[in-house]
Structure 1
């Protein structure tokens, strides 16, 4: 994947150079800050509303930040037809993991409900 990621990171580097020589540093910093903050806000909203779980950054700060560029790269490569069997396997594993996590969450909710009922009856 290293060689395949070279164009992705190379284009990113060239785009950054273009921005650096086209705009003032203060303008770039304000724009970068605005994009970054809005991206984090939309990420949290999307995770909480659509996926109904806390963002991965709450569990581990470094992992999502380091792996995010590679996630995007793999998504682009899969769309372009790269390793279709791997994509199928990853998607199936993800669906299975999601089902297992949903079962675990449901069991946890049931356990909390049982405990709450027990304590309500003992009071």
Structure 2
């Protein structure tokens, strides 16, 4: 399989995992239909965090081959660490809002990398990644 296709598939899995993370974080908010009252939904973060950390290590390997940017490489690690901090720390509304903002921004960044994947080349044929 072509390396660019692997990166596209990996970015798709990344977007799906971050969206699942968003559903888990919003499970504590009463106005959503998937509300869970006693916050057992946070146990789902123990499923998504190892997936995100695994994606980070794979993207790190692709970063060494200059197939992904540094920002794309660090998105899954940042989301996983933020999720675990929220789970192990005291749960407040402010921390939920921070986690939601980080997850939404990460989804936008990851989808930007997913839909703008053009083999590391810009429109003029020059490499867009610098050494």
Question: How does the TM-score come out when normalised to structure 1?
Answer: 0.29
Q: Which has the higher contact order (CA 8 A, sep 6+)?
A: 2
Bigger fraction of residues in helix: 1
Higher Rg of the two aligned structures:
1
